[in-house]
Amino acid sequence: MRAQRQLLAYLILVGGLWWLGGCGPRSSAPRFSPQDVLVDLSVFPAGWFVAIPPGPVRERLGQVEGARVQFLADDPRLIGARHLVLRYQGEWVAAWRYEQLQRSWFNSNSILSVTPWRVPGQLPYRSPVADKSRFACHESDVAGLATICEFMGLYGEYVVIFHTVMTPEDMQPRSYMTFQDLARILRAIDEKMAVHLRR
């Protein structure tokens, strides 16, 4: 009986997402492939390389298409970054998923989270292009203490996520990802979205 109730709730959710995507208000903004707006190596610091080339990615319910690319710094500690662009069935669905994804990606209750997510004083970035955005960093303990920074933006039917490991303090003066580098990458993400959305 419980399994039947769960199946019914799932079907109602899928039907609701289909209705919102198909019957909700349509955006007049142009549509484009998520792969068209992925950042490339030109905005990264020297010493980085493409670890996983641009390709499709599936996220969850309501997603029409998506793309991702992953980068690594030339370092044995696997300092890396990921960029994801997800397009949904409509702006309502994208806004709903944006709120859900925020809670999971910026989760201070994770067992790996040493400090809460907060806006770093070195880079209080807010997107001038996105409908909504969030940028924050925290200390994480995966294979040693590291600063992780994430940006998430809602751009009409698109949700954009950028996740990176910052340079550990004990690696100075050799910096693989500084806040200045990160600011350049976040501006490049916004510029690409602005051009394709004609904002």
Q: Please write the tens of the pLDDT for every residue from 78-127.
A: 789 999 999 999 999 999 999 999 999 999 888 778 899 999 999 999 99
Does 12 reside within a domain?
no
Residue 9 belongs to a domain = no
* Tally of helices (H runs) and strands (E runs) in the chain: 3, 6
Residues 40-87 pLDDT 10s? 999 999 889 999 999 999 877 789 999 999 999 987 667 899 999 999
Percentage of the chain beyond pLDDT 70 is: 79
Q: What CATH number does residue 158 fall under? A: 3.40.1000
Domain with 84, as residue range(s), is 26-197
* Predicted pLDDT at 141: 82
Mean pLDDT of 162-171: 79
Which residues lie below 8 Å from residue 154, measured CB to CB, with a gap of 6+?
A: 94, 95, 98, 130, 131, 132, 133
Average pLDDT over residues 134-156: 90
Report the mean per-residue pLDDT for the chain. 84
Total number of domains in the chain: 1
pLDDT at 9: 40
> What's the whole-model pTM score?
0.82
pLDDT category, 31, cuts 50, 70, 90? confident
